[in-house]
Amino acid sequence: MHSEPRLTMPARPHPLLPGREATATVPVTVTGDAERLDAAARFVREQETSLLLAHVLPGLDGPELRALTDRCRFAHAALLVFPSDEAALRAELAACGLAPDARAQPSVVVRDRLAARYAHRPADLDVRILRPGVRGPAGEHRAVEVFALAVPPGSPLAAIAAAERARDREAHLAFDVERPDPLVLRGLLAGFARHGATADGGGYNPHEDGTVFYFTAPSTTKTPYGRVELYARGDHREVLAEHLDGTPEPAETLLRLLTGAWTTQALAACAELRLPEALDRHTGTPAPELARTVGAHPEGLAVLLRYLAMLGVVSEGPDGFRLTDSGALLDARAAHSMRPLALMYGGPFYQSFAHLAHAVRSGEPGFDHLYGENHFDHFARDPELADLFDRSMVSSAPLFDALPGHPVLTAAATEPGRARTVVDVAGGTGELLGRVLTAHPTLRGVLLERPHVLAAARPRLAAAGLDGRCELRAGDFADVPPGAGVYLLSRVLHDWDDDRCRSILRHCAAAMTPDADLLVVERLLPTDGAPSLATAWDLHMLCNTGGRERTAERYAALLADCGLELVGRAPLALGAHALHARRRPS
């Protein structure tokens, strides 16, 4: 058995909440602000995200830890200090080698917590945030989050400062949520709660357009911090209300759900009008000027912008509207732009969802009912729509970020005697295969696709300098070439029912030698009813392709039906997994 890795704690004293037993190997005592700042900075510099998560929530198993590490990154440790004034604070920071890189911003969340705790008016507590940057063990950017409440000599706030220094109730660890959306956030919150963390407040900070979710760490935690924060960019107050147990009224909840279609169309309109290309992320643009740029009715655009601001796609300031990080993904010039996806979901797939009830009653996809043919045939007959669909698939390319490093591909590229060819079956325009070949120069590739898709793939692969190492082969699933070392089926099986999946897998199994590997990339349905992107996509597949998302167990059964064996799985981005299969021994 492997021994549990030991968490390296700061060598200096460190804050601890009252009533929390210290698990560090050093004494934990209350010290002055400068010592506490120095200890926090040392802690932030030393921690690695996955190891720290394992110590915050000791009950995490391997797959859960990988899933959390994929969605969260350790961002900062926080503490509350009480300088006499801003100059004194900056002097203390400098003494610890900490240099804030921006003007202090108001802290709404900590201000309100202190006001409630000590029965003060919030207006009397001018709590500010500074975030001096430090570097983690791999050079990643992190911060020490410093909440500061100025307490000049003789101030009536001195009693608050003494109590808070003694108990350090605002000290916490923080993890930033990557690519937050309501489904991801609910899943993360449920995961923390499942392992003993309890909700301990939170709030939305309009000055930063960010939502924080606080937890009290479980009693088994192996860090000296008793509180944990999840930080998500954007306004997520509906999820926050659930976190705080302030569930909205049923009628309000249902109204919000019923307006989901408006969100889809607002995002599609944003993309169609090319608002992201006309906006800046740092300088605001007034709505009338923006209307002239994109050729829109000024009042109509103002209404749309207010709604987009509520969604967190744009933000509004005194100088006008700016683009947020989420909104920037709709810019056609962005790497892996999601603009084509917005136009697909707001276009053909939006129209087909009007026939969801028909799909549920009959089992026939709503898309087929509306257009009279399946979506692959429909798109193939419309070059413009086919191009939009292919580009929308590339929008999910971050899903592939970790896949080229999968041990199966590394082994194929490095182990003597292994076949060096990777076949991407129905691999679209070659986004995944291109990444694999770029990461492993010793490998060659075969992209098996329909002719019109290969026409779009050819310039993409040529631009990456891979045209000499990648064969473009026109064909169907029955044409899987034999003798390769690795076969890829990425987001293919979920398009089809079980019988068609078995047919596809049998073609792959027939082409595989006994030592060949198959990597299947799909989202996995949860078995415990937890919120999941796969659950949403399961509905999408029902209405648009006649396919379905599946559990890992269901995929294992389908593989077994075809003489294949599921031998491992690894989490990827955007809720996906890589399922590793091999031919079952005779």
Closest by CA to 211, choosing from 226, 220, 221, 201, is: 201
Q: Provide CB contacts within 8 A for 581, sequence distance 6+.
A: 517, 518, 519, 520, 559, 564, 565, 566, 567
CB distance 74 to 175 below 8 Å:
yes
- Distances in whole angstroms, Cα of residue 501 to Cα of each of 3, 217, 380, 505: 41, 44, 21, 6
Amino acid letter at 26?
Answer: V
Please compute Rg for the chain using Cα positions: 27
Residue of 76, 243, 355, 494 with catalytic role: 494
| Alpha carbons 426 and 393: distance in angstroms, whole number | 12
User: Which structure tokens are listed for 89?
Assistant: 């604070």
Strands (E), 407-450: 421-425, 444-449
Residue 172 known to be catalytic: no
Beta bridge partners of 73: 176
Nearest Cα to Cα of residue 227 among 39, 78, 10, 111: 78
- Is the separation of the CB atoms in 143 and 132 below 8 Å? yes
Q: How are beta strands 127-130 and 105-106 bridged, if at all? A: antiparallel
Residue 465 φ then ψ, to 5°: 75, 25
Please give the Cα distance from 436 to 351 (Å, whole number): 36
Active site (catalytic) residues = 494
